[in-house]
Amino acid sequence: MQNPPRPAAAYRSVFGLFFLAAGVKLWHNVTQFLALCGLPAPDPRLFTKVEIGLTAVSLAGTTWWLVRLLDPPRRGSEGRARRRVLAADLAAVLAVLAGLGLLVPALHAEAVGMALQTVLLVWLAVVLVARSGVRPGDLGLPTRWGPQAPRTVSVLIGLAASAALVLAVFLLIVLATLPGPQGGQPPAEGLTELVDSVRSAVIEELVVTAAVIMLLTRAGIRPATCVLVSALMRALPHVYLGWQALAVLPLGLALGFLFVRYCRVMPLIAAHAARNTMVFLPGWALVALPVMTLLAIVGTLAALALVVRGPRADDRPPGSRGGTEASSRSTASRPNQPAQNPK
């Protein structure tokens, strides 16, 4: 097992991941915020050049970092590590070709390139936490292929996360009435926007929530501080909304708390992706208010159910150390109980 990282090294990894994942959006959205405040914005030509440069740096930096981490960690795994390095290189080349419109029609180039880049970034985040001694099961990621029925706790977490996302939308509406800089989101349409909606759900929950909290926790940083850092990272790229960006902060705190308590990231991703992609459904504007109100009520009841039932020993994913250790302690406390054969 790898030694826990030092706090300084953990923060470097966390901020490096954040820059690679959100550097382009930060540049784009901060310039929009400056325009909202009436401050001078960069020249459009300079803006485009910087955006292209940041995209190239993000892709090259993600690939270089991932390839470095895929060096064989122990003797006997050279062949497997070499195949992983080649796969990372291939994904990076495909992302470049797709983004340039040389692999797919130019109409879908940005969407395909964005999806491939997301795969690299998520892969990097998982490898980083693995190098700090965290297995995929500790992140709440599935460790086996094949569909499995979600457990009750996963459904409750997903509903509670949905309530937090919907309540954040309602808070956005309230904050939009305040005087001062106010932005807004463009209408959702097209394949690129759909891919970006799913991408943002995966990046925000798997990278900015799960990986960031796990890396900092492994370095001995208090969970409350880890959740706060994660929430700030989530809120910062939304500054283009003006005052409404403040609604993202309590959302990040709520979802970070859910992850710290249960270490299940898949319900968070599912709830976030569902919320982001609902707006692409035909006729969504007609049913938005009743559906979101229903989700807020049901999700709030699910959150109350989680509070009432309290955390249990088997709430964490089966592949996580927390669940294994809890099961071991539970078995050790009943030494006279006969062992049962697994079904």
pLDDT in tens, 147-156: 666 788 999 9
pLDDT at 293: 94
Number of other residues whose CB lies within 10 A of the CB of residue 114: 18
Better-predicted residue by pLDDT, 74 or 6: 6
Of the pLDDT bands very low, low, confident and very high (cuts 50, 70, 90), residue 327 is very low
Of the pLDDT bands very low, low, confident and very high (cuts 50, 70, 90), residue 102 is low
Least confident of 117-126, 216-225, 280-289, 313-322: 313-322
pLDDT at position 330 over 60: no
Q: What single letter denotes the amino acid at residue 267?
A: P
pLDDT at position 335 over 80: no
Mean pLDDT throughout 16-24? 92
H helix runs in the chain, sequence order: 7-36, 44-69, 78-99, 106-131, 152-175, 191-202, 212-218, 223-235, 248-262, 266-277, 284-309, 321-332
Q: Which of 180, 173, 168, 176 is nearest to 204 (CA)?
A: 168
pLDDT at position 320 over 60: no
Highest mean pLDDT among 15-19, 129-133, 305-309, 322-326: 15-19
Residue 113 near residue 298, CB atoms below 8 Å: no
Helix 266-277 to helix 248-262 angle (10° resolution) is 150
| Share of residues in the chain with pLDDT > 90 (%) | 36
Mean pLDDT of the chain: 82
Backbone φ, ψ for residue 242 (5° rounding): 75, -135
Q: What single letter denotes the amino acid at residue 143?
A: T
R_g (Cα) of the chain, nearest Å: 21
What are the angstrom distances between the C-alpha of 309 and each of 2, 158, 305? 35, 16, 6
Residue 310 near residue 198, CB atoms below 8 Å: no
Q: How far apart are CA 131 and CA 4, in angstroms?
A: 9
Burial class (CB in 10 A: 0-12, 13-18, 19+), 237: buried
Instruction: Give the pLDDT confidence of 242-281 residue by residue, as tens digits.
Output: 888 899 999 999 999 999 999 899 999 999 999 999 988 8
Place of tokens 């976030």: 272
